[in-house]
Structure 1
């Protein structure tokens, strides 16, 4: 990943309402996915006697911070909420993407929900009266499945199994898969499929991770993907630092709490603009957008000061009250592509179930003071 100025002559794909091309059967596929995930929701509720998310169930920290839009951005980057310099309050939730509560010793994908407060503009959804802008990000740059159909046919069988396997089985399977990859596949010039590769990626300090939007979104007049990169010395130093095997089942939570007891952290929010709809497709989220054609470029800094990110009150607020959905935001940052259309309905269905069974209020904060200390 780079962070350089793009040539002034670069041509960027203009956003139009017809940039998306859904499959004819997409809504039926999403209906089937929601039905399976609802079964997983209900199973988790019976297990925990408490409703959890069907993805990102386990949080590791709930952070209060500030997002500052850079001054002097070039016109193609000065778009949407980044059009003018400003500072916004932020609430962020760090998580693992599993739909059940698992040990932090397990390898896998980590998640980041960013909720920006006080963002003005026309909303994506007509019935949305909030003033928040959500960005949902994960630690794999490309999504593991191209679209909703691929997620249904390839991802859901895996999700069904994973929801039912105990931690020791998953940990043993990851170790065997890692050994196979290292000793057999790589010497032959082969690799583990991406949807399995996430289970052998190193388990490293979550505050040193780079996060990605994976799927595209509207970026004002253009189309883009986002990344979130640690840049302050203390946070950047955590990149690639392994989680110790003796750190316990809540290792990420403990690492985050220990870090923010004494340190602040800064991250850059970076934008990769689409230059070519063929090389950088909207509907296939598995295709890497070439950095040489359009590098990630910084548009804002997110800073978190010293704080306690996992008090009981914060955990309850972040896990039970808050919801994160990239469709909650302004029209200038409308999510695009099949995976995002899938998330729109899946996230809403999961949030409805969780709030209903927990008898918890659904609140979109308007003031950062609403996040408990």
Structure 2
């Protein structure tokens, strides 16, 4: 294996991105379809929801610390200098409807770093926050906007209409099919179905991933977020008690932080070869042997109550998370991220409008209620 110091890391240039000629039209169609989901959820719940990450499980106040002595290729953007930043984090499930926590699926993490100054990814963005949005699935389930339109959108529209009991039965049947039939022949379910048979594990012990790449100053990276404090790391792979109820994740997060703090590492995996580590296809794993994840910061949460009524209302109704809200040095890259830019904005606009809720970027962590 080549020594890390001797590796040639891909330099960021705008021409690393190669969008399809019809990508904007594809995104228009996706936004129209998702607006139907937004409106249906509003009729059902009598309030606007996110079209993804609708149900939160905890809103956390913490601190992100960039250490001294990072290698030059890691000391980029907001990580260029050592220091500490306050953060607000939101744990969620990625579904666009409110479902029982007993249902298996992908979980989400939004990290909002406060007090980040510098040129922004979007010219009309005047905030001083840096958002990172991560999920428990290492690679994205669809390669690009076109694949999402053809495969992801029908799935999203169907899932918005399937009741919990039917979805639970479907998940059980898929698990049996995966284990008893496909397993015999060395095959497995497609990834967009496999997420519904994965174990339902404790959120605080799981790693989270950016799934798609982003600019890392002069370079390009993907991100990983991993528990390292003993109490949080011990939760890795711990399954949720089937008798714990419909809010099992929320309850487990509240119970944990009543007794413990938790520390996580934020790690960057730098791109070394766009052939083996593509920018536009978010389904292809970036090989660790080519470039391992390396720690660029720690995120620490002290004991707290992460789900008071005031905090829940602030996290769900006031806050918005968008990976495009941040520095140009951490500009999201690739088709899936270009899709998210417009989809998240459209969803946020609808939600805040119908809820008559202010859309405010926090300037100070004290704005998060206790």
Within the alignment, does 1:178 sit opposite 2:175 as a pair?
yes
Change (3 A) 1:249 1:6: farther
Q: Which residue of 2 aligns with 1:251?
A: 248
Measure how far apart 1:289 and its partner are. Answer: 0.2
Measure how far apart 1:6 and its partner are. Answer: 5.5
TM-score, normalization: structure 1?
A: 0.98
SS of the equivalent of 2:109 reads strand
Within the alignment, does 1:343 sit opposite 2:310 as a pair?
no
Q: Which residue of 1 aligns with 2:281?
A: 284
Task: State whether residues 6 and 295 of structure 1, in contact with CA within 8 Å, keep that contact through their aligned partners in structure 2.
Answer: no
SS of the equivalent of 2:16 reads coil
CA-based RMSD of the aligned residues comes to: 1.0
1:273-322 deviation digits (Å, cap 9, x = unpaired): 00001000000000000000000000000000000000000000000000
Distance in 2 separating the partners of 1:231 and 1:245:
26
TM-score, normalization: structure 2?
A: 0.99
Task: State whether residues 6 and 294 of structure 1, in contact with CA within 8 Å, keep that contact through their aligned partners in structure 2.
Answer: no
Distance in 2 separating the partners of 1:82 and 1:5:
25
1:99-118 matches, within 5 Å, as 99-118=96-115
Within the alignment, does 1:229 sit opposite 2:226 as a pair?
yes
Q: Which residue of 2 aligns with 1:323?
A: 320
Task: State whether residues 93 and 112 of structure 1, in contact with CA within 8 Å, keep that contact through their aligned partners in structure 2.
Answer: yes
Q: Which residue of 1 aligns with 2:43?
A: 46
Distance in 1 separating the partners of 2:148 and 2:77:
30
Measure how far apart 1:186 and its partner are. Answer: 1.1
Aligned residues: 370
Distance in 1 separating the partners of 2:11 and 2:108:
29
- Please identify runs of 4+ aligned residues in structure 1 that moved more than 6 A: none
Distance in 2 separating the partners of 1:87 and 1:136:
19
Within the alignment, does 1:272 sit opposite 2:251 as a pair?
no
64, 69, 88: which is aligned to 1:67? 64
Measure how far apart 1:70 and its partner are. Answer: 1.5
193, 197, 222: which is aligned to 2:194? 197
Distance in 1 separating the partners of 2:67 and 2:3:
16
Q: Which residue of 2 aligns with 1:25?
A: 22
Within the alignment, does 1:150 sit opposite 2:153 as a pair?
no
Q: Which residue of 2 aligns with 1:361?
A: 358
Distance in 2 separating the partners of 1:287 and 1:10:
21
Q: Which residue of 1 aligns with 2:308?
A: 311
Q: Which residue of 1 aligns with 2:89?
A: 92
**Unaligned 5+ runs, structure 1:** none
Distance in 2 separating the partners of 1:167 and 1:6:
50
Distance in 1 separating the partners of 2:297 and 2:5:
20
Task: State whether residues 270 and 300 of structure 1, in contact with CA within 8 Å, keep that contact through their aligned partners in structure 2.
Answer: yes
Decide which moves more: 179-188 or 281-290.
179-188
Q: Which residue of 1 aligns with 2:238?
A: 241
1:57-78 deviation digits (Å, cap 9, x = unpaired): 0000000000000210010000
Q: Which residue of 1 aligns with 2:10?
A: 13
1:128-180 deviation digits (Å, cap 9, x = unpaired): 11000000000000000000000000100011100000000000000010011
SS of the equivalent of 1:261 reads helix
Distance in 2 separating the partners of 1:7 and 1:114:
28
Task: State whether residues 5 and 297 of structure 1, in contact with CA within 8 Å, keep that contact through their aligned partners in structure 2.
Answer: no
Within the alignment, does 1:213 sit opposite 2:210 as a pair?
yes
Measure how far apart 1:269 and its partner are. Answer: 0.1
Distance in 2 separating the partners of 1:133 and 1:192:
36
Distance in 2 separating the partners of 1:5 and 1:71:
24
